[in-house]
Structure 1
Amino acid sequence: MKQSFWMLALFLFSLSTSAQYDPSKIFVPDFYQHNGNTFRSASGKPSADYWQNEADYTVKVAFNVETRLLSGDVTIDYTNNSPDDLDALWLQMDQNTTKNEARGNILRNPNGKPDEKQGYRITKIRLTREGKTKEVPFIVDGTRMQIRLQNVVKPKGKIQLAIEYSYELLPRGGGWRSGYMDDENGKIFEFSYWYPRMCVYDDYYGWNTLPFIGGGEMYLDYGTIDYQITVPADQIVIGSGILLNEKEILNSKTLDRLDKARKSENIVFIRSSEEIKNPVTKNNSGNVTWHFKMENTRDVAWAMSSDYIWDAAKINLPSGKTALAQSVYPVASTKNGRAWSRSTEMLKYSIENYSQRWFEYPYAVASSVAGSVGGMEFPGLAFNYWDVEPYMMFLLASHEIGHTWFPMIVGSDERRNPFMDEGFNTFMNVYAQADFNNGELAPKRDGEYAPNGGNPADEIIQVIKDAKDGPTLMTPADNQNYKFVHPLAYFKSAFGLVLLREVILGPDKFDYAFRQYIKNWAYKHPRPEDFFRSMDNGSGEDLTWFWQGWYHNNWQLDQAISKVEYTEDKETNGIDITVTNKRQMVMPILVSVEESNGKTHNFTVPVDIWKYGADAKFHVNTTSKIKRVLLDAGHQVPDIDRANNEWKG
């Protein structure tokens, strides 16, 4: 009995000591493990010798509506801007995610038989260098392909690959990011990950060859993508970039309405619900080739249907330039409270908001496409679910096109660092949704932890508790149980930026630093540390404690009022307040003091006070009896125990 008592006492003591706050764990003097170099500056900017390779694509395909076979060829002009010799080339084959031998499927079913009918079928690959062309062998390994070169591609060297390929479009293909659906008047087809794409070769990892499993998305180089799609004449095709041959293929009525939409603040119908049976092309039969081009982009996607309503309006940009917002959707998307008739309104507003707040939209067209894909982003184009009410319509329209900023303009690695695109984008969405139509559809909420009307600072507590011993924001999506991806990469990441802006830095410092980060890394490849350093340098604050506690760990916060006393025991001398930090996370102390004479003092104690230990003592100038002291009256920080945040006199 005596032994059991001491064992229990020792266990309880270990619990209490393990929960004690240790400043040295969060205020880490040598947080950054890599010095700045000629590629990446210690200030968070690209350095003078920063480089990235370039991949330009020319794609020509045809799609058979009956067999659902897409076939054609892609020519890749690849430039090696690295200082290294490349003795092999790696390509992403993400359409192969449906194959039994793809890594994600092997994890679930290790002895599945290879299925040649699934994914890409590569007929041949030709390599051209210095005017000489030859067919080359290749090795396909699930969602990746390697081409081993007889002669290296030297620094500043160029090489061209021509790949003949085909694949069958599945109802849900490409990791559920493409597919088709039946509609009352026809079918809707959505195409993504639809051509082999180069893997990124960078200064951090060399070749980035993480397989596409499904959670982690894209990491791609920039270039010009010129693509032609041959389909039946009754189809409307909407693709990333500019339609180069619209005057050659579209009829005069369609061209006139497009011209009107480019000048109109209000929505213009290019094809209305009453005109569904009317073609938009000059040809009423046979095939039509739609020719698109997009510059300075990571990727392109497209969709088509004979059942589209098509509307559009002008986007106004801060520089005085304009762009076109357009939406395509079936008649069914306008019935029974469905809100697709407002898609273009919401798309236009979101782009204008993000352009004004953060970085101007760089492309000529932005498209929102209805279909079976629940919500998926591509440069200047989004696949959004066809059956949504107004709140979800804005959430989709705003979020998916917001990805044009992260990671399509600021080209982070989604496969390793999902918080840098999903979270940053969700952060932008928070303010756009609050602003839209005077808050009509606010607030922006995410996931099961944030039911409509709750408080994000309180709701994030459960996320942090659930992931206490699990993944952090720094964990790649495919390295964690997928149940954590949305709560962390979307919700925790976004709320962390809200904390930085509203509590830690203030809007002026945050906005300047965040805008500079976007400007410096537009069309480049930042790593998490580049973002952290950018925010430190742009704001002039050492935020390494925040990166350590919020991003590298899921530490909890508990600030408690432990003592309030009058200075020298006199009410007129003011008060001394002691706040104890009972957990490992730290935040500025948000204090409200109410005096009996009616005065209220609201102020913030900087986070630096926690460098000295678990007890923070500070003086408040007051002249009368104190009625109440309250921490975080507005519930802005995620304090896990608000019962100890109040003292009453």
Structure 2
Amino acid sequence: MKQIAYLCLSLILMSSALFAQEQEANALKKGHTNTNKFRQLYDEFSTPNMFRSASGAPGPAYYQQQADYKMDIVLDDKISRITGYETITYTNNSPDELKYLWVQLEQNKRAKDSKSPLIESSGVAPVMFPNAFTKEFMSEPLERGFNILEVNDISGKPLPHTINRTMMRVELPKPMKHGDKFSFSVKWWYNINDHVVEDGRSGYEYFPKDGNKAYVIAQFFPRMAVYSDVEGWQNSQFWGRDEFALPFGNYEVNITVPADHILDGTGVLTNRKEVYTKTMLERYETAKRSYDKPVLIVNQTEAEAAEKGFSEQTKTWKLKAENVRDFGFATSRKFILDMMAVKIGGKDVMAVSMYPKEGNPLWEEWSTRVVASTLESFSRMTFDYPYHKAISVHAKQQGMEYPMICWNYGRPEEDGTYSDRVKYGMMGVITHEVGHNFFPMIVNSDERQWTWMDEGLNTFVQYVAEQDFGEKYPSALSPQDKHFPSDRGPAKMIIPYMGGDQNFIAPIMTKGLNTYQFGNNAYGKPATALNILRETVMGRELFDYAFKEYANRWMFKHPTPEDFFRTMEDASAFDLDWYWRGWFYTTDWVDIGVKEVKKYFVSDEPNAYMREYMEERGVKRNQLKPLVYLVEEGSEDFKEKMKTKSLLENSKPLQEYIMDNFTPEERKSIKEPKYFYNVTFEKPGGLVMPIIVEYTYADGTSNQVTYPAQIWRFNDNEVSKAIASDKEIVSITVDPNEETADIDTSNNSWPQKIQQSDFDQFKEKIKG
């Protein structure tokens, strides 16, 4: 260490002089606020309180409301209509007095008088398909949206209520105090949308060849809004993009459908013996003991036979769920049904798939296996999956999630063939939507406000789960793929977005409705940020511990972004304010490069810098303490010293010159470097990141060093490192493994690599 101090003294003196000049210049400027990128996030964060602690954990006074539902639902398959009657029991666990309740009516987004289409900019396209032209200019709005028939108290007395688009305010007979419960009923109906033609997160798909419909149904009932310590009532209107904020509760739901339908949904099927045939029950019992492959409960031959029936009879399926935030179900006579068991934390969970024959052979082979593998991976990264099942339902152009059930795209051609794109797309969307059982169905963030908290976190764990799946089922991969080809997660995949037009990029910390490039912003960038945090900044062990702590702290609760940020730091001892600010609060990008490399030689004679210093102060050589003088290669001073042979170019004279200043005992711990460099790194990009550097030596070996991000804390533009090496450095590469999402790699190497275009131009000049 002493040797390095002596060797670098001249450089330190030079740096000190430059720093003093800079300080003097700054003294003449006006003052400024703290713009350092390592400043704490106190301005951005709320003050901790009794509800939410500074550690990121729920506080001692944390509360959340509860909404319990009892519903009777009838689905009329002939006219595609849902009629429902529900009783909601609402519990006020807040310390506040409530005068009214807010109920969500998301189906009103599709109503004739909906304002949602009016907020979207549109224009006349020069060329359009006939169906698109007709839909845009020649079609009347369909009869959609909730028809609220009654809103009554428990005694049947009408309650005053006001509908404001997708929200309904219900006036209470008297204010609810802390601990009060209030029950009321709502009766309604609505016409189900064709989700293939009209879009939407739920609805039906019509199959013209056999005349059947497959239903994936959600947002089908008036649902309580969230009341919390952060937002009060979360009654932000549903415009179509931002998803949902919902309280937890218990559900008892009876759903009446045609007798030849196969149905499943959120919760435990309490009357399985009534709705399953004897054969289905036997197969179900077999599936409960099958851990390696799915068991068909309804096979394709049986489903194809059912397609022709169109029963006039009905059957009621009864489902009961505890501590869930929502409810969804799927039903059709076309459905094939398979299941297998997966062991999660010592208990059995059923992985389930429902799909029409149009999904085969792809779905029968892989859907349920993907469900099972996803539950294992997400449980490892967070907590043991607490529910008894997870269902994947095949639905064209869909990808949507609800507690214990989700719908997913991925359809082969009519002849059963499919491309890698279709196969991987299906596997990826199932992984993603099943993963949503964890975020936000259990770790229940506010999707209406912070889309990234469910989509981004879920996409990050999806990447981990996809890689696990590829390792577990290598036969699922195409021959050219060594790993599952995830399309989000790795750093290099977000580069085109982060390096794009700043006019069309918003910070991650933006309400989803107001976000440009929704998929990149809410899914891709936060997933990449967390992946880099795990792999490059924190390391897997510390990251995984903190991430798991966040998930366990906030399971079945309502976290905010601050709760996530604070917990990740609290559980890891990593100060990450700089990281959250850069990646989540700004649209800065990564661009770090090698600006300059200077090679130095040691001299036993004063260099130019020291000679000037001595002359200014009248210092004689014999008055100086022993010093080491470094001379830059190629400088005038270097050329002069080459003539006088005062450079200590090889190890022996250098060693002798240095060692005279140390005792024999001290010499034992001193290295013997032969080469000295000053490497300057620049940061044209605004985003602070570690500098990952690979040094390659003349003997062909290399060494990788990671300088922590804090290296930029005093200079946000460039920093230098003095390097002493026993081997000659022949090349330097920044971010050699593409870990940081660096948008411009042209400055990442020294000597600078010749681009192919430059090389081609060079060859043309030679020819000329």
TM over 0.5: yes
Give the Cα–Cα distance (whole angstroms) in 2 for the partners of residues 444 and 376 of structure 1: 22
Give the Cα–Cα distance (whole angstroms) in 2 for the partners of residues 284 and 66 of structure 1: 11
Query: 2:321: which partner in 1?
Result: 294
**Which stretch of the first structure deviates more once superposed, 237-246 or 609-618?**
609-618
Which of 284, 287, 292 pairs up with 1:258? 284
> Do the aligned partners of 1:181 and 1:188 also contact (CA within 8 Å) in 2?
yes
Larger % of strand: which?
1
> Do the aligned partners of 2:355 and 2:363 also contact (CA within 8 Å) in 1?
no
What's the CA shift string for 1:415-458, capped at 9, x where partnerless? 11111111111111111112214265444444xxx7xxxx9433
Task: Quote the offset at 1:306 in angstroms.
Answer: 0.6
Give the Cα–Cα distance (whole angstroms) in 1 for the partners of residues 380 and 253 of structure 2: 31
Q: Secondary structure at the match of 1:140?
A: strand
Give, as a single letter, the amino acid of the residue that structure 1 aligns with 2:355: Y
Give the Cα–Cα distance (whole angstroms) in 2 for the partners of residues 620 and 533 of structure 1: 37
The 5-angstrom pairing of residues 632-647 of structure 1 reads 632-647=735-750
Q: State whether structure 2 residue 39 is matched by structure 1 residue 28.
A: yes
Query: 1:171: which partner in 2?
Result: 194
Which of 467, 479, 496 pairs up with 2:514? 479
Give the Cα–Cα distance (whole angstroms) in 2 for the partners of residues 352 and 256 of structure 1: 26
The 5-angstrom pairing of residues 159-198 of structure 1 reads 159-172=182-195, 176-183=200-207, 184-185=209-210, 186-198=212-224
Q: State whether structure 2 residue 541 is matched by structure 1 residue 515.
A: no
> Do the aligned partners of 1:595 and 1:624 also contact (CA within 8 Å) in 2?
yes
The 5-angstrom pairing of residues 592-611 of structure 1 reads 592-611=694-713
Give the Cα–Cα distance (whole angstroms) in 2 for the partners of residues 517 and 592 of structure 1: 34
What's the CA shift string for 1:543-583, capped at 9, x where partnerless? 11111111011102221212333463566154332212222
> Do the aligned partners of 2:280 and 2:298 also contact (CA within 8 Å) in 1?
yes
> Do the aligned partners of 1:566 and 1:575 also contact (CA within 8 Å) in 2?
yes
- The percent identity for this pair of structures is 33
Give, as a single letter, the amino acid of the residue that structure 1 aligns with 2:404: G
Which of 60, 67, 74 pairs up with 1:55? 67
Query: 1:589: which partner in 2?
Result: 691
The 5-angstrom pairing of residues 348-363 of structure 1 reads 348-363=372-387
Give, as a single letter, the amino acid of the residue that structure 1 aligns with 2:159: V
**Which stretch of the first structure deviates more once superposed, 420-429 or 24-33?**
24-33
Which of 526, 548, 552 pairs up with 2:559? 526
> Do the aligned partners of 1:26 and 1:584 also contact (CA within 8 Å) in 2?
no
Give the Cα–Cα distance (whole angstroms) in 2 for the partners of residues 195 and 101 of structure 1: 19
> Do the aligned partners of 2:144 and 2:192 also contact (CA within 8 Å) in 1?
no
Task: Quote the offset at 1:479 in angstroms.
Answer: 1.6
Give the Cα–Cα distance (whole angstroms) in 2 for the partners of residues 268 and 480 of structure 1: 43
Q: State whether structure 2 residue 430 is matched by structure 1 residue 432.
A: no
Task: Quote the offset at 1:467 in angstroms.
Answer: 5.6
Which of 341, 347, 351 pairs up with 2:371? 347
Query: 1:13: which partner in 2?
Result: none
Task: Quote the offset at 1:124 in angstroms.
Answer: 0.8
**Which stretch of the first structure deviates more once superposed, 100-109 or 612-621?**
100-109
Query: 1:84: which partner in 2?
Result: 96
Give, as a single letter, the amino acid of the residue that structure 1 aligns with 2:506: P
Q: CA RMSD in A?
A: 2.5
Q: State whether structure 2 residue 137 is matched by structure 1 residue 126.
A: no
Q: Secondary structure at the match of 1:396?
A: helix
Task: Quote the offset at 1:108 in angstroms.
Answer: 4.9
> Do the aligned partners of 2:693 and 2:735 also contact (CA within 8 Å) in 1?
yes
**Which stretch of the first structure deviates more once superposed, 395-404 or 350-359?**
350-359
Give, as a single letter, the amino acid of the residue that structure 2 aligns with 1:232: P
Judged with a 3 Å threshold, the aligned counterparts in structure 2 of structure 1 residues 387 and 443 are, in CA distance, closer, same or farther, namely same
Q: Secondary structure at the match of 2:528?
A: helix
Which of 289, 294, 303 pairs up with 2:330? 303
* Rg (Cα) greater in structure: 2
> Do the aligned partners of 1:44 and 1:531 also contact (CA within 8 Å) in 2?
yes
**Which stretch of the first structure deviates more once superposed, 513-522 or 455-464?**
455-464
Task: Quote the offset at 1:178 in angstroms.
Answer: 1.2
Query: 1:3: which partner in 2?
Result: none
Which of 724, 730, 741 pairs up with 1:627? 730
Which of 466, 476, 481 pairs up with 2:500? 466
Give, as a single letter, the amino acid of the residue that structure 2 aligns with 1:606: P
Give, as a single letter, the amino acid of the residue that structure 1 aligns with 2:81: L
Give the Cα–Cα distance (whole angstroms) in 1 for the partners of residues 332 and 311 of structure 2: 15
Which of 210, 219, 239 pairs up with 1:213? 239
What's the CA shift string for 1:136-189, capped at 9, x where partnerless? 121111111111224111111110111111111121299601111223442211
Give the Cα–Cα distance (whole angstroms) in 2 for the partners of residues 92 and 467 of structure 1: 37
TM-score by length of 2: 0.76
Query: 1:370: which partner in 2?
Result: 394
Q: State whether structure 2 residue 434 is matched by structure 1 residue 401.
A: yes
Q: Secondary structure at the match of 1:214?
A: coil
Task: Quote the offset at 1:384 in angstroms.
Answer: 1.1
Give the Cα–Cα distance (whole angstroms) in 2 for the partners of residues 278 and 638 of structure 1: 53
Q: State whether structure 2 residue 163 is matched by structure 1 residue 140.
A: yes
Give, as a single letter, the amino acid of the residue that structure 2 aligns with 1:27: F
What's the CA shift string for 1:372-397, capped at 9, x where partnerless? 35111111111112515321121121
Q: Secondary structure at the match of 2:169?
A: strand
Give, as a single letter, the amino acid of the residue that structure 1 aligns with 2:538: L
Give the Cα–Cα distance (whole angstroms) in 1 for the partners of residues 714 and 444 of structure 2: 39
Give the Cα–Cα distance (whole angstroms) in 2 for the partners of residues 235 and 565 of structure 1: 76
Task: Quote the offset at 1:610 in angstroms.
Answer: 0.6
Structure 2 gap ranges (5+): 1-32, 123-136, 413-421, 478-482, 601-629, 632-648, 650-672, 753-768
Query: 2:677: which partner in 1?
Result: 575
> Do the aligned partners of 1:175 and 1:214 also contact (CA within 8 Å) in 2?
no
Give the Cα–Cα distance (whole angstroms) in 1 for the partners of residues 195 and 599 of structure 2: 68
Give the Cα–Cα distance (whole angstroms) in 1 for the partners of residues 745 and 118 of structure 2: 47
Q: Secondary structure at the match of 2:440?
A: helix
Task: Quote the offset at 1:101 in angstroms.
Answer: 2.9
Judged with a 3 Å threshold, the aligned counterparts in structure 2 of structure 1 residues 435 and 289 are, in CA distance, closer, same or farther, namely same
Q: State whether structure 2 residue 179 is matched by structure 1 residue 156.
A: yes
Give the Cα–Cα distance (whole angstroms) in 1 for the partners of residues 363 and 255 of structure 2: 30
What's the CA shift string for 1:304-332, capped at 9, x where partnerless? 11111111101111x21111011111112
Task: Quote the offset at 1:604 in angstroms.
Answer: 0.6
Give the Cα–Cα distance (whole angstroms) in 2 for the partners of residues 115 and 639 of structure 1: 47
> Do the aligned partners of 2:359 and 2:410 also contact (CA within 8 Å) in 1?
yes
> Do the aligned partners of 1:596 and 1:626 also contact (CA within 8 Å) in 2?
yes
Give the Cα–Cα distance (whole angstroms) in 2 for the partners of residues 340 and 273 of structure 1: 9
Which of 392, 407, 410 pairs up with 2:425? 392
Give the Cα–Cα distance (whole angstroms) in 1 for the partners of residues 311 and 285 of structure 2: 22
Give the Cα–Cα distance (whole angstroms) in 2 for the partners of residues 197 and 290 of structure 1: 21
Give, as a single letter, the amino acid of the residue that structure 2 aligns with 1:477: G
Query: 1:5: which partner in 2?
Result: none
Q: State whether structure 2 residue 259 is matched by structure 1 residue 224.
A: no
Give the Cα–Cα distance (whole angstroms) in 1 for the partners of residues 445 and 185 of structure 2: 27
Task: Quote the offset at 1:278 in angstroms.
Answer: 6.0
Number of aligned residue pairs:
610
Give the Cα–Cα distance (whole angstroms) in 1 for the partners of residues 163 and 463 of structure 2: 42
Task: Quote the offset at 1:285 in angstroms.
Answer: 6.4
Give the Cα–Cα distance (whole angstroms) in 2 for the partners of residues 26 and 103 of structure 1: 41
